Structure 1
Amino acid sequence: MKAFILSLICITMLASCKSEKTSEVKKKSRPNIIFIMSDDHAYQAISAYDDRLIETPNIDRLATEGMLFTNACVTNSICAPSRATILTGKHCHLHGKIDNHFAFDTTQVTFPQIFQNNGYKTSIFGKLHFGNNPKGVDEFSILPGQGNYFNPDFITSKGDTSIQGYVSDIITDMAIDWLDREAQDDEPFMMMYMHKAPHRPWWPRPDKFEEFTKRTFPEPATLFDDYSNRGTAAKTAEMNLLTHMHYGHDSKIRPETKSEMGDQLVPLVEEWKNGFAYPYGRASKEQKAQLDPVLDSINNYFKANWPTMSDKEKMQWKYQRYMQDYLACISSVDDNIGRLLEYLDETGLAENTIVVYTSDQGFYLGEHGWFDKRFVYNESFKTPLLVRWPGVVQAGTVENEMVQNLDFAQTLLEAAQIDRPADMQGESIIPLLRGDKDNWEREAVYYHYYEYPSIHMVKRHYAIVTKEYKLIHFYHDVDEWELYDRLNDPNEVNSIYDDPSYADVVKQLKADLVQMREKYKDSPELDKKFIEKYNQKLINR
């Protein structure tokens, strides 16, 4: 009898050990995933890419401990379409969200749904931008539309709510709280942690507001670009700091200051009526008490100096005001990413968690005199991408192969050992993450922007981009081509499309572009269809 009991104990212990080992193997073979995305975060504003504007030590950790991509880019540089592409792994003309006006095709399968159907716990916290009931997540808390910086409202899986505080801090609190509740067992998780910042209008947390308004930032080389040697599109876009950046909405000039100065202010193309009042009005009494001394300083300086400034000085002042607020918002994002990374370290989750940091697209920080995005020119076309995957990605590596947000869904699915749907159009970047360039064959990427005529008036265009060249076709109310030598003209100020010495390059890229449009199932017929639908939508407004 004793022998039987001892045998039973041994068998039980062996079974328990086997179960624990199986669990460990399962956990190691099925990594957790945290997908972090900010809104409009320019790669130039991450010190791992360029430290002239800001230090971002916590985001930089992902580069130091993982891989930094220098040629990551988007398929369409505008918020909601980019997010739809990330979720579906498809170009805009297939998922239907070609711009911020058209609805997302809700029959499309998103990668969180696939994760959820394959044994992952799933969640999303922060800014989704479209759709109030995200599919494929066990728990969500998302900002309605653009959301607010101060005391934001949230749509949650348990009902609507409003939370006092600063949005970047609150979103991080939600993410850490979910990890605390749901990530402490062997079941793998996939969490989307999505910051609103640094989307316009840029309202920093009060302490950051005070800190950054005391700083002065270097000007980009093309701040006073005159758009010579380029076509109509660059010349007619409405995103110039001097003439299109709003006094109240952007530069924090109070309505009473504007009223007092009257004719001393040059009328802008458009000045949003509640651009200052609404976001400021979201702040509590205590928050306003912290904001007001800084706002007083800005407005007093503006009243005393603006009337006598030259246009050049006004442009420089607007640039500094823009950078102070934009970068202050990013500083809060970086602080909060630091909080999350520390949590992963403290709980031991970091060892088996892939952390991805990106933005929904790039952004102009005064380059070409602009703010915003939309163009296929570098600052909006390129996007930050940093990936940390312990035990797989070699720490401190830099990758210059061309990858796109089109690839994210496929990559994450492969990392989780989940089969991808056949209709996804991206390419998994797992070979690059593993240092296996022999199994990476992409030579060029495809881009297509649709939202015209609309805010900022960036003309419709599509493009093929290689490491060396960028060929762009602007269409609809124009028919113009531009070609840029990306290696010899990194600022993209000189289109060489008509240069005879590049005739062979143009010919080859045009042929490649035709093939690429066919590959991705885009076509002139679709271009015409979307224009007609867009025009009808404008008529019906």
Structure 2
Amino acid sequence: MLYPTKPAFRFLLLLSIAFVFSCKNTPQKSSETADGNTKKPNILFVISDDQSYPHTSAYGYKAVSTPAFDRVAREGILFNNAFSASPGCSPSRAAILTGKNCWQVREAGTHASTFPADLTTYPEILARAGYLVGSTNKGWGPGKVVGREDNPAGKAYNSRKLESPKEMSDNDYASNFEEFLAARSGDQPFCFWFGAAEPHRRYPTGIGVKTGLKPDQVKVPGFLPDVPEVRTDMLDYIYEIQWYDSHLDRMLKSLAAKGELENTLVVVTSDNGMPFPRAKANCYEYGIHMPLAIMWGNKIKGGRTVDDLVSLIDMAPTFLQAAGVDAPETIGMAGKNLMTILTSDKSGLIDKSRQAVFSSRERHSSSRWNNLGYPQRAMRTADYLYIWNVQPERWPAGDPQKFEDDGKLGPMHGGYHDIDDFDESVLNTRRDDPAISRYFHLAVDKRPEVELYDIKKDPYCLNNLAGESAYRATREKLGNQLMAYLKKTNDPRMSPEGEKTYESYIRYSPIRTFPEPK
């Protein structure tokens, strides 16, 4: 082979060779989707607001009828062990959007603060890849979006309204979805976030019974008293689940009529647990265990039920993998994509590497002196739930008393604002009733630093095993695993400055005033 003898020619040749090799070794954005096709799949992500795991008819809960959720489960996969990254809506949704744990997204990992402009979300990545991105009703929030033109979930389509019962959303979700689809260019793939307002409180009182739902079909969880007031309250909650499910039904039928459903990855879940004491805003099972069903035409085998532990932070990497889009390595998503499960033809346990999922909370409402939060970290395995209450000296549901508008200290038990509408709850109004008192104290009393529950024997998290000698080895093992994961993922709570960091985050929702603890 002849080589140029002049230095300038030799330099140009070496530069050309280097350029060719750099192009071959530089990661490129994939044009193939997860199944090897070049046509990008549509993505429809559906998330209710405050719905716990068992409350769909696909899971066998008799009091509710959810035909749309059931269709997704029947034609796709029903997940028995899906968990949110937080028992509160704002941090849970931030974790879904970023594919990260709540402690990895700074202000967005606590309630009603900000969503930092430098956090990258999966809708942003898909938009850069040519997707039309949009949302209806509740995207990320509550909180203040900074440095973005739209909500992190996507441009809002909320103009279509309808008549609805008092205290329920008047957004015509399905019609807003149609408006979004009309904005597409040709066969442009879409990514749409349907954030239902239901079944968040408040409820139209008695609407469940008025519309024919049956109190005797309600299964009251063991941390609530089985009394008529709780059953009818749960029926109102169930009615709202059915309300939002009817809009999902319209969306699925619309996609089918347009010939788009086969190429649409549909995910249906919730952000956190039911808005009842010891559920929402708590890292107990009914606060973090979520409904989840996924369908994707014939890309995944339907009619399956999966028992693997999955986290909602797995959604972001799953969507990107399905679309054949590489996330920048600098993002550092903690979620693990679900393709191994989706492309399997098996039921039961599929991915043996999924040994645990994690959840957390910081501030939920403004419920304590100086706006202090109630930090928790939790790890869920197939058998156990381990909870670390970082500041056990604080009231988990919020301080019992608050200052009234006149500046005077209000009555005892007039606080507890980490529980939605607790002043009207039968647990509070009848707290001195011997039949109710136990449940009141379960909801509001201070808790030990460590809690450990055998989920298979105690799904309602009533029997704390952390102090029992027979479970000492289990407690130590799980505690060490949790701490190792928190350190690995740079949780600020692993630093002496962690408390200062979290309490420095501004809250943009109304601030209540509580007395300084003695």
Residue 383 of structure 2 corresponds to 468
The one-character-per-residue Cα deviations of 1:320-379 (angstroms, maximum 9, x if unpaired) are 3312321111111121111111111111111111111011112266xxxx3750111111
d(CA) in 2 for partners of 1:342, 1:121: 20
Residue from 96, 100, 124 that aligns with 2:111: 100
Residue 47 of structure 1, CA deviation: 0.8
Scaled by the length of structure 2, what TM-score is found?
0.71
Q: Deviations over 1:83-142 (max 9, x none)?
A: 11111111222212232232221221111110000011111111123456425777423x
* Unpaired runs of at least 5, structure 1: 1-21, 142-153, 155-160, 226-314
Secondary structure of the 2:58 match is coil
Q: 2:387–2:450: 8 Å Cα contact kept in structure 1? A: yes
In the superposition, relative to structure 1, how do residues 388 and 496 fare at CA in structure 2: closer, same or farther (>3 Å)?
Answer: same
3-state DSSP class of the match of 1:448? strand
Distance 1:454 1:393 in 2: 44
Are 2:313 and 2:335, in contact at CA under 8 Å, matched by a contact in 1?
yes
**3-state SS of 2:114 partner:** coil
Q: How does 1:150-165 map to 2 (within 5 A)?
A: 163-165=161-163
Is 1:524 equivalent to 2:494 in the alignment?
A: yes
Work out the CA distance in 2 between the residues paired with 1:212 and 1:182. 40
Q: Give the conservation status (yes or no) of the 8 Å contact 2:200–2:275.
A: no
The residue that corresponds to 1:14 in the other structure is: none
Matched, 1:508 2:509: no
Q: Which residue of the partner structure matches residue 412 of structure 1?
A: 319
Q: Counterpart of 1:112 in 2: which secondary structure?
A: helix
Q: Which of 254, 261, 271 is equivalent to 1:350?
A: 261
Q: Which amino acid aligns with 1:336?
A: H
1:87 and 1:222 map into 2 onto residues whose CA distance is 33
Paired with 2:214 and 2:454, the residues of 1 have a C-alpha distance of 38
1:444 corresponding residue in structure 2: 356
Q: AA paired with 2:179?
A: D
Answer yes or no: is the 8 Å Cα contact 1:364–1:372 preserved in 2: yes
Q: Which has the higher contact order (CA 8 A, sep 6+)?
A: 1
Give yes or no for the alignment of 1:386 onto 2:293: yes
Match of 1:80 in 2: 90
Counterpart-to-counterpart distance in 2, 1:433 and 1:112: 21
Q: 1:223 and 1:340, CA in 2 relative to 1: closer, same or farther beyond 3 A? A: same
2:176 to 157, 166, 174: 174
Deviation per CA, 1:187-235: give whole Å up to 9, x if none.
21111111111111123898x773147754434251556xxxxxxxxxx
Deviation per residue, 1:218-277 (Å, 9 max, x gap): 34251556xxxxxxxxxxxxxxxxxxxxxxxxxxxxxxxxxxxxxxxxxxxxxxxxxxxx
**Tell me, what secondary structure is at the counterpart of 1:48?**
helix
User: C-alpha separation between the residues in 1 aligned to 2:278 and 2:478?
Assistant: 29
**Secondary structure of residue in 2 paired with 1:470:** strand
Contact 2:85 2:92 in 1 (8 A): yes
Taking a change above 3 Å as real, the CA distance of residues 466 and 126 of structure 1, as seen in their structure-2 partners, is same
Within-5 A mapping of 1:28-47: 29-47=39-57
Asked whether 1:117 is paired with 2:117, we answer no
- Residue identity matched to 2:210: E
The CA distance in 1 between the partners of 2:295 and 2:386, in whole Å, is 33
Residues in 2 aligned to 1:501 and 1:325: alpha-carbon distance in whole angstroms = 42
Question: Match of 2:201, SS?
Answer: coil
Kindly tell me: are residues 103 and 46 of structure 1, through their superposed partners in 2, closer, same or farther at Cα, counting changes over 3 Å?
same
CA contact (8 A) 1:66 1:396 kept: yes
CA contact (8 A) 1:27 1:188 kept: no
1:484 aligns with 2:453: yes
Q: CA deviation at 1:40?
A: 0.8
The answer (yes or no) to whether the contact 1:169–1:336 under 8 Å persists in 2 is no
Whole-Å Cα distance in 2 between the matches of residues 83 and 137 of structure 1?
9
Shift in Å at residue 531 of structure 1? Answer: 4.9
Structure 1 residue 35, shift from structure 2 partner = 0.8
Residue pair 1:34, 1:353 contacting (<8 A) in 2 also: yes
2:9 corresponds in structure 1 to none
Q: For the residues of structure 2 that align with 1:363 and 1:37, how far apart are their CA atoms?
A: 13
How far did 1:516 drift? 0.6
The amino acid of 2:385's aligned partner reads K
Structure 2: which 5+ residue stretches go unaligned?
Answer: 1-31, 394-447
In the alignment, does 2:337 pair up with 1:428?
yes
Contact map agreement 1:111 1:409 (CA 8 A) in 2: yes
> Which residue is 1:211 aligned to?
211
Alignment partners' CA distance in 2, 1:73 and 1:137? 20
Higher deviation after alignment, 42-51 or 110-119: 42-51
1:187 maps onto 2:197 in alignment: no
Are 2:223 and 2:462, in contact at CA under 8 Å, matched by a contact in 1?
no
Cα shift at 1:384: 1.1
Q: Which residue in the other structure is 1:318 paired with?
A: 229
Classify 1:211/1:218 alpha carbon distance in 2 versus 1 (closer, same or farther; 3 Å).
Answer: same
What SS does the aligned partner of 1:324 have?
helix
Please, which moves more after superposition, 371-380 or 421-430? 371-380
Letter in 1 for 2:477: Q
- Residues 1:535 and 1:176: Cα distance change in structure 2 (over 3 Å): closer
What letter is aligned with 1:445? V
Inter-CA distance 219–46: structure 2 relative to 1 (3 Å threshold): closer
RMSD value over aligned CA atoms?
3.2
Distance 1:455 1:394, change over 3 A: farther
